Structure 1
Amino acid sequence: MEIPGYVDLQVNGYKGVDFSSSELTEERFLYACRELIKSGTIVFLPTIITSSKEIYERNLQMISKAIQRDDLKDHIPGIHLEGPFISDVDGARGAHNPEWVLQPDLVFFDQLVEWSDGKVKLLTIAAELEQSDVLCRHAVDKGVTVSLGHQLASETDLQRLSDSGASLLTHLGNGIPQMIDRHNNPIWAGLANDDLRAMIITDGHHLPPSLIKIILKIKGASNTIIVSDASPIAGLSPGNYSTLGNDVILEESGRLFNPETGYLVGSSSTMRECISYMRSLNFIDEQDLSSVGFYNSLEILDINPQSIIDRLG
């Protein structure tokens, strides 16, 4: 069956609108969402990265109110919190502000859920943090899916968290330092854990084709999920920008990076572009492309695909 569009579990913003900005307005948020839907991403989770408590309180309340509108509620089932309970180590932390990174805190997590009016659907945490397993069980008990990323986790850490209810890996192969142990590292450990599905960014910049192929060979299309990790710069023309606390360059190729650190700062691609790149690699057929770009994500969100096809097709 032909799918009506794509599902994206990780969208930081679009066309100049930053979902984690202190200057976000409801009007700008609605504009970004409508433009993203037009691009072919018909179901998605607005993602707030590690932020100050003031931004969390302001933006979670604003976004949770907006996504309950009649024209958005079928498209936006909830919110992804990428942080603040992640590694504070350079490289693993990625573009997240180290001042706002926190250790696992059940009270603050509950506050985040309250500010979101219960709309938090996905939480990314680092598996190696003390009490991360306690937070994981607590979040899962509240109906929140837990993913593991921006971490320096070992095989033991990942097993401990998967035993505690974690079910995903956030952008596997990214959110780690450039230099890692050749055997004991989060990529190998994530590949080896059969209980964790892999989210990957297939924009042509975040992962080399060889690693994408390996992930698909090991996890299989049924346990792989493509996300865009779209930054607020996605959808804009090449140039110099400031986004997610970084001065960045968007090249003609679509590569978006901080020239001082060399690290990528999210992607400039939509799901349509990520799927197109994936198709060009010829690793999987059209049925499996539908799985990694539509069906698997809806399963994570506990949404009946047929209901989306009927309402949005």
Structure 2
Amino acid sequence: MILHARHYATNEPVAVTVARGCIAGVSASDREPSSWIAPALFDPQINGCLGISFNSPALAPEQVRTVATVCREHGIGAFAPTLVTNSFEALHHGFATLAGALDTDPELARIMPCFHLEGPYLSGEDGPRGAHPREHTRDPDWDEFRRWQDAAGGRIRMVTLAPERAGALALIEKLAAADVVVAIGHTAASGQQIRDAVNAGARTSTHLGNGCHAVLPRHDNYIWEQLACDDLWASMITDGHHLPATLVKCFSRVKGADRLLITSDVGSLAGMPPGKYREWGTDLEVLPSGKIVVAGTPFLAGSGHFTDVCVSNVIRMTGMSLKDAIDLASAQPRKLLGLPVTKIEAGQPASLMLFDWVSGGEVTVREML
């Protein structure tokens, strides 16, 4: 099979030959294709969709496959299934169910090469806690984490936590020694606590600018502290609801392309019609705009837009190139997690997306390989 499209990084027409799931060759195309080609997206934070939550105590393997199928429709060739703050039993079931589904399906295992645990070792304060249930936020417990890691078959590659929790620094050290990426998020930490976390091995910030108090000190606060730290990467949710364009532009300029990545943080209600739903023991609402909030409040509860929308938005918000925007949602998450970076080169896996795009418009996925 030969694919004719414009290379996302060069804008040049290329002919990409694909055989047996690999790129067999790349050459100049003698056509003027209207579609584009790029590595498939990778999202480090997918919670579910269509009413399916990876956090559900009733999660079933066929539901895992449904989420993967929907994600591919949005250019997401691989992602990290994310489980959030819950009881030990619910999280154990979720990780065990995911691992069981992947153990019996090599294609699913390729699509979901690692897992993300967001919580339960997060701030219990309103604001930083976000939509995470307060009754399940708690101090870090290495033995508890190890049991989840065993259930996951060793696939938990990222843990988001609040470094101010008692015992957090010791856990960060152990996680870093075990090659688990530690992310700071849903935190009310002081500047010193954030610096201590980085010294202990924390490497990134989860959805910087979200999971915060509504009002912060203008100078000394945990957003500035993480933004200024050159040893921390940061993810941003650029769905159009979580961060205003001015903040996305500032974050992008300060962190630069080498320490930044995009996540959709798509929630279990993504793709659902407007209305009220019950998730995580909380009443949530999908608004007509697709925004998902804790019912009756302005507080966000995950995203209703997938990673392809986030790529389109970050281009509009910052003016960055198509190449840089796609790399933030494909190469950068893989680099952070220590996964192979997909390139459009001979010998590489054919994990690619074909899409339509006009400058200033939407990235519209046409086909996934």
TM-score above 0.5, yes or no: yes
Q: Deviation digits for residues 256-277 of structure 1, max 9, x if unmatched?
A: 1113332100010100111111
Amino acid at match of 2:109: K
Which whole-Å CA distance do the structure 1 matches of 2:225 and 2:171 have between them?
21
Q: CA deviation at 1:282?
A: 4.2
Shift of 1:240: 2.4
State whether residues 39 and 343 of structure 2, in contact with CA within 8 Å, keep that contact through their aligned partners in structure 1.
Answer: no
CA distance in 2, matches of 1:282, 1:101: 35
Question: Does 1:43 pair with 2:82?
Answer: no
Seen in structure 2, the aligned counterparts of structure 1 residues 234 and 297 have a Cα distance that, compared at 3 Å, is same
| 2:201 equivalent to 1:165 | yes
Say whether 1:240 aligns with 2:276: yes
Q: Which residue of 1 aligns with 2:34?
A: none
Give the partner amino acid of 2:151.
W
Report the residue type matching 2:147 in the other structure: Q
Q: Deviations over 1:86-132 (max 9, x none)?
A: 11111111111111111011111111111111010100010112221
1:284 Cα deviation after fit: 1.0
Structure 1 Cα separation of the partners of residues 264 and 204 of structure 2: 16
Q: Is the 8 A contact 1:49 1:83 kept in 2?
A: yes
1:65 pairs, out of 88, 93, 100, with 100
Classify the secondary structure of the residue corresponding to 2:138: coil
How far apart are residue 307 of structure 1 and its match?
Answer: 6.9
| 2:134 equivalent to 1:95 | no
- Larger deviation: 39-48 or 25-34? 25-34
Q: Which runs of 5+ in 2 are unaligned?
A: 1-6, 9-37, 353-369
CA contact (8 A) 1:85 1:125 kept: yes
2:364 maps to none
Deviates more, 1:53-62 or 1:254-263: 254-263
Cα contact 1:95–1:245 (8 A) shared by 2: no
Letter in 2 for 1:50: T
Q: 1:127 aligns with which of 154, 160, 163?
A: 163
Conserved in 2, the CA contact under 8 Å of 1:222 and 1:291? no
Preserved contact between residue 248 and residue 317 of structure 2 (Cα < 8 Å):
no
User: Does structure 2 conserve the Cα–Cα contact (< 8 Å) formed by 1:14 and 1:231?
Assistant: yes
Q: Which residue of 1 aligns with 2:25?
A: none
Which residue in 2 is equivalent to 1:28? 63
How much has 1:306 moved relative to structure 2? 3.2
The residue type equivalent to 2:79 in the other structure is: F
Q: TM-score, normalised by structure 1?
A: 0.95
SS of residue paired to 1:213: helix
Q: Which runs of 5+ in 1 are unaligned?
A: none
Q: What is the CA–CA distance in structure 2 between the aligned matches of 1:9 and 1:46, rounded to whole Å?
A: 8
**What corresponds to 1:311 in structure 2?**
350
How far apart in 1 are the matches of 2:283 and 2:65? 25
Q: Deviation string for 1:291-311 (max 9, x for gaps)?
A: 211111110121222379523
Native 8 Å contact 1:227 1:271 kept in 2: yes
Per-residue CA shift, 1:44-74, capped at 9, x if unaligned?
A: 0010001111112211111112123212121
Output the amino acid matched with 2:293.
F
- The whole-number CA distance in structure 1 between the counterparts of 2:44 and 2:216 is 27
Following superposition, the deviation at residue 238 of structure 1 comes to 2.4
Match of 1:76 in 2: 112
The equivalent residue for 2:307 is: 271
More helix by share: 1
Contact 2:260–2:328 (CA under 8 A) maintained in structure 1: yes
CA distance in 2, matches of 1:239, 1:228: 21
Q: Give the corresponding residue for 1:19.
A: 54
Contact 1:133 1:160 in 2 (8 A): yes
Higher-strand-fraction structure: 2
Take 2:195 and 2:85, find their aligned partners in 1: how far apart are those partners? 24
Alignment RMSD (CA, Å): 1.5
- Give the C-alpha shift of residue 199 in structure 1: 0.6
How far apart in 2 are the matches of 1:5 and 1:198? 21
Question: Which residue does the alignment assign to 2:237?
Answer: 201
| Partner in structure 1 of residue 365 of structure 2 | none
Matching residue's letter, 2:327: S
Q: Please state if 1:10 is matched with 2:45.
A: yes
1:174 and 1:206 in contact (8 A); partners too: yes
TM-score, structure 2 as length reference: 0.81
**Residue number in structure 2 paired with 1:261:** 297
Corresponding residue number in structure 1 for 2:17: none
Q: Which amino acid aligns with 2:98?
A: I
The worse-fitting range, judged by mean Cα deviation, of 139-148 and 298-307 is 298-307
Moved more, 235-244 or 54-63: 235-244
Paired with 2:240 and 2:246, the residues of 1 have a C-alpha distance of: 11
* Partner Cα distance (2:110, 2:70) in 1: 15
2:11 maps to none
